[in-house]
Structure 1
Amino acid sequence: MSEDARRPSVLIVDDVPANIRVLVDFLREGHDLHVATSGAGALELAARLAPDIILLDVVMPDMDGYEACRRLKADEALAGIPVIFVTACFAPEDEAFGLSLGAVDYIVKPASRAVVRARVKNHLELRRARESLARQNAVLTEAAKLREDVDHIMRHDLKAPLTGIIGLPPLILEEGGLSDQQTLFLKLIEENGFKMLSMINLSLDLFKMERGAYVLCAEPVDAAAVARRLFVELATLAGYRRNAFVLTVDGRRDDGATPVVICVEKLLFYTMLANCLKNALEASPGDAAVSVDLRQGNPALVVIANHGVVPRDIRSRFFGKFATSGKKGGTGLGAYSTRLMAETHGGFVRMETSDETGMTVITVALPQPETRETTP
């Protein structure tokens, strides 16, 4: 029989047989009833039967109801059983004392059938709800543990075999005797192996950033050169969609040679800009330009603009973890990781989108060594 289908068990504790008969009559329908006539008997039956609820008299010889309740709540195996005092002690201080011992309710004799049944029903439902939540929490905790184990495998255990894969192509190439096509394939294997290793390392870094344990290693980086490199790497995707890239520095067209030096961690800056450009390309209509404006100062700003607006259902959680809307295969981690990396630099990232202009602008602010600024 399922837990929901079985009749709830009720332990009635009172040293007066007439009082027991009244409660038994009230609760006979729909409940399995058990009776004890003393505090000691109540403890013994509770330990043996584990009832769903206990109705407990206060004034009893040898061990009163208050002491019985205190001992029940001190026993880890019995503490979760709800206790309702049913007593002739009606003073407010009596009720307050009983509730302070852990009882869930206090009914003053003589009580009506309707009141007793309603109170018992309510507290049984509350107990079932608490137990259901506890089971759900246990499942969620186990799922979170499983995810952490999988993450550990992805972040750590894959690195060893991947390092072996990366190391083999150079050894094979040294042997020689390969066709041009075979040589190309081996170099592609090596290159993609390094990309996978970089992704795993980045995953490890994001894990540290989420916990505030990442140690930033900033250095002077030519932001313009990074942008130009990404334009080349994303040229195929942009060309397929007939999009163009435009790079400006403080609003002036880039000359293709002048450096724009800012102090950042190079790999993190590259990843932030790559995430923003890929998102901008995917959101842009065909034949539209994606622009990057590098603004020097403190903080240094990187402003990425594209045609197209962010869907309304995702605007408030744009930089949230796993936030995505209508994008096949999207993980929802690009904007999230960009935010983490900007904040790791002591900066921030913001998104502005307009239905009127049909444009979306992402601004990444990266404080320079002299001062650290925060989101306005």
Structure 2
Amino acid sequence: MSEIKQRILLVDDDSAQLDSLRNIFQQNYEIVLASSGKQALQQAEKAPLPDLILLDTVLLDTDGYEVCRQLKENAVTRMIPVILITNSNETNDGSKELAAGAVDYLVRPFTADHVAGVVKVHLRLSATMKDLEKQSLILAENARLNNVLEGLCEYDFKAPLQAFIDIPIQLSRELTMSSFQKEMLNSISLSASNLLEIISRSIDLYKMEKGTYQLSPFPVDLLKILQQIFQEHKRTAEKKEIRFALNINQKAASVEDIFAIPGEKRLFTFMLNDLIKSAIEASPGNNEIRISLNHSSHSTMLIKFPGVFFKKTLDQSNPEHPLSEAEYFTVPGLYLARLLAKTQGGDLAISMSVPEGTTFQVDLPLAENRVEAGSALDKSVADKDVNLSSGKSKAETKILVVDDYAFMRQTIAGILRQSGYQKIFEASDGFEAITFLENNRADLILCDWEMPGKSGMEVFKFISCRNLLKSTPFIMITASSALSELEIALENGIQHYIVKPFSPDILRKKVEAVLAKPIEKEQSI
């Protein structure tokens, strides 16, 4: 799918000058023309709005200064950047243009490269401002909702629950009691803590249902979470004589095993807890709950147990009937588990029958890409619908990931390998990145901004000074969305950036867009 071009409105009553401007920009931008001030005001209000207006100051029906003032007084058009074009016989310092509301001005005669460069810079700044404005609105709404929820938790829920958290711990320390009694008190405290956490995160569940939750994936070891959940439900399982069997890729799991996939630990914990708890409740007793974890192009978890859920009825004379597979998701814990799975890019399916029992199947396509996972990827799917300007396939494209945080490097590399990129190189700081680049070439560099030693900016300046490296696509990764920091990056020539936290989809789209973009060449006149 082709990238949507930015839209520029060109305004000049001289047809020759208008044609000249159109020739400069028509290859890279969508062009709208206006030959008068009145027509310019009309075109500026039409959707989709222009991303920038290039406006001559001398027009037959009015002057460009007045048109610019009217644009800035109009709520629809006031945010559109305007660049005024003046003639060389108009001697001024630009104060008149800026007072009219223009972001910049150009003096004729000018070269095509100069006007194209000025327009490009202001389009970047405008796009950055739009992104920041959207993020500000989202953050403001999130802050408002969080304040409402925090108020409820602080005054209505937190105080009474805190007593259930603190008092059992205090009693277990001060009183002489058996290990069983201490375990029961600790269980009360842990349950209260879990309840408080659920209440505190209710707003996240609302966002998940609305499909607006922003996932921040990091490698999470599901085996460790499952062991903790087994421990939490140990007493209930022992009462029903229920045993747990845990396998990885058809083999019994050992204490040294790791089953790590990108996601949020908190979401995985809630999801797995609901599934294991539901399996224990539905099991008849004296049975085994078998959990199987499997790695392939995605991760699959199967939870099998010889039990089913039954419909509850008030008529004691009427025997209970098992729930249908569709009705399973009316059970609150299973509904939540499915929601949590979907939020992390997967799904939950349930199959059941009275003789065989029930199977929960969790599919998580965001599987961690181990070394051998590369061979499991279907190359035709991995390279689908992406045209790289280098002519290389995804598997041949060399990408250098630079970040001092090992988990972040692992997460980025995993997402890229899942997308089909197999030649991923890592550097833990700026020094290591520069050492690598002195001896190797890369087709793309993803580099963190803040690092000890040499920063991401210093890495970019290093490659910018080397003829063999300066054309290498470079994406700056930053945890700050501050305009001042982004302006510094733009002023230094960094064209692409991504703000943490970001979703796997955002990273994939950014990398594909940058790699598909041809190397820009200077325009001559």
TM value normalised by structure 2: 0.35
Higher Cα Rg, which structure: 1
